Amino acid sequence: MASPGVVDTRQIPHPPHRIPVLGDLLSVDPASPTQTMARHARTLGPIFETKFFGNRMVVVSGPDLYAELGDEKRFGKHVGFGIAAAREFLDDALFSAYTDEPNWSRAHNILMPAFTLPAMKNYHDTILDTVRELLAHWDRRLQSGPVDVHIDTSKLTLETIARIGFGYHFDPFTRGEPDPYAAAVMRTFAYVGRSAYRIPVDWLERLVHHRANAQMDADVAYIRRVVDEVIAARRASPEAAPDDLLALMLTTADPATGEHLDDANVRNQVITFLNAGHETTSGTLSFALYMLATHPEIAAQARAELHTLWPAGADPDPAFGEIHQLRFLRRVVDETLRLWPIAPGYFREPRRDTLLGGRYPLAAGQAVLALTLKVHRDPVWGADAESFDPDRFRPERARTRPPGLYKPFGTGVRSCIGRQLALHETVLALALILHRYDLVPEPGYTLEVAEEFTLKPANLRLGLVRR
């Protein structure tokens, strides 16, 4: 028993069946780790710990403790587990850099102006053109049965970020086979998602997972080759370069230091935006389409809002400002990200030894997983927290909830830099899809959620009926 006044560290519970060396490996499903942790939180409470091969991680899912982790004076981003694995091929890109690495602040300062809300005006027409290509693709397939939603939304979002960011065209809707770059990206996401369970002895990890590691090496080499070709083509013809992210990274100096990004870092940033920038938005779109298909009354309400701008039967030509008038559809997106945050959690670490909630001891540098997936479904959202209700985000209802609980894009200075782009693209795409089609769920399908570093619906197919 702890002495009076001394905090007992044993008050942080852990899953049952912990065993030597492997720790809690038997208590977590590697195919769905955050969903497993959310289930553990129901019995273990708002904070618990897990260990894998001696690596300790504290999992926080209580609303008060979760909000406390957002205090930038006490906590910062932790680069470990899956993020550490991502560093093996992204190094010090925005997502995977340590906050005190020079290239993080350098790239952040250079790129921030490209992700402000006013900057979205420059991307709007390109996003619109790409969404129309998806619609034309679906129109050609109307007689062929249901569409594979996530495959097609992934094509859409990869093409969008490639065009607006780097002037590159994959042209996915004219290809007869899956794009090899997109396939490589999917495999790298899956690999990184499993990285928490890698054997910490390098030679043994290479032996046991030889095939997966060899595939990862091949995928990384291929992805780098594609991106290097994009950068080389831009350098060869700078006079024809569009005003995009790549141009910013190649020509702009950090206003704080006057320094430019080196070529290796530019490549890492491009890979980060192509990979994470498309997978996250495609997941959001896929979940939102599932929610609208399975809640026809909400789809009808969203469609009625669309018809106030673009009459039924007409082919919309949305102006940039009109997308921001779609307040109900935006609430559909917000509620989708509440129930299924594409990034189901984010890592934090104490800047110095501290007590979380005044009670739970955390050492400086300790990995803490802020489990967004569980916090977004806490009863603090209402007795119906598991249900889909976009009006939950009406301003008058949002004001009744404690602050700091809705964080699908992370928190603080290390939150997602592409948030405005993702939201604009998602609302625009949903608007055009809903205006053109009725969405028909596939009979007998129950939502399956796959985890490959991010969350996404698995095997989701929807029928489309042209309106």
84 domain residue, yes or no: yes
Which is the catalytic residue, given 95, 411, 416, 426?
416
pLDDT score recorded for residue 206 = 67
Name the pLDDT band for 221 (thresholds 50, 70, 90).
very high
Which is the catalytic residue, given 48, 75, 393, 409?
409
The set of residues, in sequence order, having a beta carbon less than 8 Å from that of 212 and lying 6+ positions away, is 191, 194
Across the chain, mean pLDDT equals 91
> Does residue 123 carry a pLDDT above 60?
yes
120 domain residue, yes or no: yes
Instruction: Give the range among 192-196, 233-237, 445-449 with minimum mean pLDDT.
Output: 192-196
25 domain residue, yes or no: no
pTM for this entry: 0.93
227 domain residue, yes or no: yes
- For residue 172, give the CATH number of its domain: 1.10.630.10
6 domain residue, yes or no: no
284 a catalytic residue: no
> Does residue 379 carry a pLDDT above 50?
yes
For residue 363, say whether it is annotated as part of any ligand binding site: no
Query: How many structural domains are present in the chain?
Result: 1
Proportion of the chain above pLDDT 70, given as a percent: 93
- For the chain, the C-alpha Rg in angstroms (whole number) is 23
pLDDT score recorded for residue 301 = 98
15 domain residue, yes or no: no
> Does residue 197 carry a pLDDT above 70?
no
The predicted-structure confidence for 65-94, as pLDDT tens digits, reads as follows 999 999 999 999 999 888 888 888 899 999
Range of the domain at 430: 33-466
4 domain residue, yes or no: no
Which is the catalytic residue, given 34, 50, 160, 280?
280
The predicted-structure confidence for 304-357, as pLDDT tens digits, reads as follows 999 999 999 889 999 999 999 999 999 999 999 999 999 999 999 999 999 999
Name the pLDDT band for 2 (thresholds 50, 70, 90).
very low
What is the mean predicted confidence (pLDDT) over 118-133? 94
pLDDT score recorded for residue 196 = 62
> Does residue 5 carry a pLDDT above 70?
no
pLDDT score recorded for residue 230 = 86
Name the pLDDT band for 297 (thresholds 50, 70, 90).
very high
pLDDT score recorded for residue 296 = 97
pLDDT score recorded for residue 203 = 60
Name the pLDDT band for 7 (thresholds 50, 70, 90).
very low
173 a catalytic residue: no
416 a catalytic residue: yes
CA atoms of 178 and 51, how far apart (whole Å): 38
Select the more confidently predicted residue: 29 or 357: 357
1 domain residue, yes or no: no
